[in-house]
Structure 1
Amino acid sequence: MNKVKAAVFASGTGSNFEAMMNCKELACEIVLLVCDNPGASVIEKATDFGVQTFVLNPKAFKDKHVYETEVLQVVRESEVEWIFLAGFMRLVGPTLLNAYQGKILNIHPSLLPAFPGKDAIGQAYRAGVEVTGVTVHYIDEGMDTGPIIAQKQVEVLPEDTEETLKYRIQKVEHELYPEVINQVVRMKRLWPVE
């Protein structure tokens, strides 16, 4: 039986992409990496896994709609049904949101709604919180505002540095994201409920 096809959108190192690819029980097949950063090391990881890569610098387009129209064409050509954001450092606009409504997930390194946006781990560390964590959520037009699917807490230890906290948060991400992907894909759980 053919698995559901999915794309990962990433901008950086691709540690969550790698965790998905290494998950032997993943309920979908990652067939495409979309990257907005030509220098990102996730591109090499995708190549090593034999995953098609589509690297497109948004600055080369006159606006977000034109950029996303190009991305959407490639995603559709790859017969992608689900999109998983994994360190994708830009807001998804209406072109992709409308085409994949309820089928785009994101992972964020905080317990949303706390510390949305960039540098969530640094924000939490500097705020001196005792607990932070990881959130997997559906995306909407806002910055980390879509409906939450799952969260997992990570305690901030007295001896933590920002780097050690980041390491422990990423370990949780690499377990939680594939689990949630499996749950959502197998149950065909869409938001909003159809």
Structure 2
Amino acid sequence: MLTVAVLISGAGSNLRALLDAAAEPGFPARIVVVGADREADGFAHAERFGIPTVLVPFREFETRDEWGDELRRQIDVWTPDLIVLSGLMRLLPEALVDAWAPALLNTHPAYLPEFPGAHGVRDALAAGVAETGASVIVVDSGVDTGPIIAQERVPILPGDTEHTLHERIKPVERRLLIDVVRAVATGDIDLAARARDRVADPPAIDPGAH
């Protein structure tokens, strides 16, 4: 059984989707702890499912590295096999990424490497493209630059706003994340192998998306 730690900053909608999936009979992973960098509404989901929570407030530390050291100490107590960033609005220190990767996943509301960064949905709309997407990646020390594990296109419809487009992307993100966690648990996805192979076989950008 794959053990998973989930890190959040807000409402934890991806966390809730993972908790629901993990509660299904036969799902090969279980969430053992939920952590946050601030008081997060998503803790309510963890409490509802009886999952322990860990709060490591970023503002209480002088440096990002000190915060990262404490977060690592508190999460590593649970010895998770996989760590999922579920709306954690904080860049992890490089030392923490190095310690946890490649067993460190994040989702992004764009078809990476298109539109990385905090405003992927807004940037896609501003670019006037016909499609964007959702991606699940291994976190590295860059901004949305890690190995891509899964992704799917999402069309941009006439009249879409940042809100309406993001609301259509979110269910795709959740489904991809659940599928990836399941596949990691069953051994169908080897994150270490994907990380090794990324240089030899970089993901291509679909030229038809523009």
Q: TM-score, normalized by length of structure 1? A: 0.91
Letter in 2 for 1:20: L
The alignment partner of 2:65 has SS state of helix
Given that 2:4 and 2:80 are in contact with CA atoms closer than 8 Å, whether structure 1 keeps it comes out as yes
Alignment correspondent of 1:53:
53
> Shift in Å at residue 178 of structure 1?
0.3
Alignment correspondent of 1:118:
118
Letter in 2 for 1:68: G
| Distance of 2:128 and 2:53 partners within structure 1 | 39
Q: Give 1:42-191 correspondences, 5 Å limit.
A: 42-187=42-187, 189-191=190-192
Given that 2:101 and 2:138 are in contact with CA atoms closer than 8 Å, whether structure 1 keeps it comes out as no
Letter in 1 for 2:174: H
Return closer, same or farther for 1:186/1:68 CA change in 2, 3 Å cut-off. same
> Shift in Å at residue 182 of structure 1?
1.2
| Distance of 1:96 and 1:186 partners within structure 2 | 26
> Shift in Å at residue 126 of structure 1?
2.5
User: Which one is further off, 101-110 or 47-56?
Assistant: 47-56
| Distance of 2:185 and 2:103 partners within structure 1 | 9
Given that 1:20 and 1:26 are in contact with CA atoms closer than 8 Å, whether structure 2 keeps it comes out as no
Letter in 1 for 2:185: V
Number of corresponding residues: 191
After superposing on structure 2, the runs of 4+ consecutive aligned residues of structure 1 that deviate more than 3 Å are none
Return 5+ residue gaps in structure 2 as ranges.
198-210
Letter in 1 for 2:53: T
> Shift in Å at residue 169 of structure 1?
0.4
Return closer, same or farther for 1:52/1:10 CA change in 2, 3 Å cut-off. same
> Shift in Å at residue 47 of structure 1?
1.4
> Shift in Å at residue 193 of structure 1?
4.3
Return 5+ residue gaps in structure 1 as ranges.
none
Q: Does 1:31 align with 2:32?
A: yes
Given that 1:104 and 1:139 are in contact with CA atoms closer than 8 Å, whether structure 2 keeps it comes out as yes
